[in-house]
Amino acid sequence: MLTTLAGGQPADQVPLWELEFHLWNRYSRYPIVLGKEFAKLTPGEQEIALDRNAELMVGVALQLGFSAVTAPAWYWETSPGQPAYFWLPDEARMRFLPKLRAAAGDALCVIGHAGGMIMPPANRYVEFAYEMYDEPERVDTWAQETLRTGLEQVKQAQDAGIEVVVAPCDIADNHGVYFTPAQLERFWLPYLVEWSRRVKAMGMYSILHSDGNLTSVLDSLARTDLHAIQAIDPVAGMDLVAVKEQVGSRLCLCGNIDCGLLQFGPAEKIYVSTRDACLAGKPGGGFVLGGSNAIFTEIPREHYEAMLAAWRDYGRYD
């Protein structure tokens, strides 16, 4: 995984990694304990759950052939009052990082979440658009604070022995980047430049996750110290071959199997899509296979295993 993030070609297989993997209970005898269920436990029960979670995640990741495993993220809502699946309370999340790192040993790369750049709030897009025009200094302050807290998260990850941090930061939709060029240069890009520079200076690797069509900003991303981008969103028209031709070895590409296809199938089409992604992405290295977003609980096990089958058949380097 680390060789590939650095733009190199691994000796044997295309690395397999998921931004978030939610199918733990499909592959384990014991349930993973997260979110509200975890928050209800006593302090002693929470420590036991964290230890078991670490063992469970590493065991499943090795069973499936992952090269890396992502730690749970912070709280966020998929809809009002409905929390995302893969989260832990902040304090517990920090305690979990060294446990996951210890359980993974030398077998897996461990990836933690660390922000650094602002993203348009999903529940107030219109208000945010007005703020950039009417109160740009307020957006400046928010961007500065986001970078500051994000770098604190990077340092916490480093202290826990984490090698890689991923910043979930959607800046585009299916039509293109949300910001105008001037807004991008003021409110977002300088913070990515600084965040990726600081992560690299700490001896760590950085990944940016963004849905949407990033074609117009790929060259700008590749000029930073960022190591990789995740999604290469096929729903937004991102073509793996075209992106690889555009950025060359300047960015590692992670993705890009359509999560909608993984949910609805059929399995034969998933196999073909994964085969094509492996054949397009693996030449010269710099490619990590995975879903275009989280592998959420609604994805059938047999569909995910169709992806794994194609990866085993076509993801090997000769």
Q: What is the span of the domain harbouring residue 194?
A: 2-20+64-69+104-314
Contact yes or no for 34/82 (Cβ under 8 A): no
On whether residue 191 sits in a domain, the answer given is: yes
Let me know if residue 59 belongs to a domain.
Answer: no
Phi-psi region of 93 (alpha: psi -120 to 50; beta: other; left: phi over 0): alpha
What pLDDT score does 281 carry? 96
pLDDT digits 0-9 by tens, 79-122: 888 888 999 999 999 999 999 999 999 999 999 999 999 998 87
Task: Flag whether 34 is in a domain.
Answer: no
Per-residue confidence (pLDDT) for residue 153, from 0 to 100: 96
Tell which wins on pLDDT, 206 or 76: 206
d(CA 276, CA 239): 11
pLDDT tier for residue 194 given thresholds of 50, 70 and 90: very high
Q: Is residue 123 very low, low, confident or very high in pLDDT (cuts 50, 70, 90)?
A: confident
Mean pLDDT of the chain: 96
20-45 per-residue burial string, b: 16 or more CB within 10 A, e: under 16: bbbbbeeebeeebbbbeebeeeeeee
User: Average pLDDT, stretch 287-300?
Assistant: 97
pLDDT tens string 143-159 = 999 999 999 999 999 99
313 band by pLDDT with thresholds 50, 70 and 90? very high
Supply the CATH number for residue 270's domain. Answer: 3.20.20.210
pTM tops 0.85, yes or no: yes
56 or 75, greater pLDDT: 56
Q: pLDDT-derived band of residue 125, with 50, 70 and 90 as boundaries?
A: confident
**Within a domain: residue 265?**
yes
Residue 127 domain flag: yes
Is the CB of residue 263 less than 8 Å from the CB of residue 42? no
- Residue 21 φ/ψ, nearest 5 degrees: -120, 120
**For 235-263, what is the mean pLDDT?**
96
pLDDT range class, residue 124, cuts 50, 70, 90: confident
> Is residue 200 situated within a structural domain?
yes
pLDDT for position 15: 98
Residue 47 lies in a domain: no
Q: Which band of pLDDT confidence, cut at 50, 70 and 90, is reported for residue 45?
A: very high
Structure confidence at residue 78 (pLDDT): 81
Residue 290 lies in a domain: yes
Question: What total of structural domains would you count in the chain?
Answer: 1
Mean pLDDT in residue range 199-216: 98
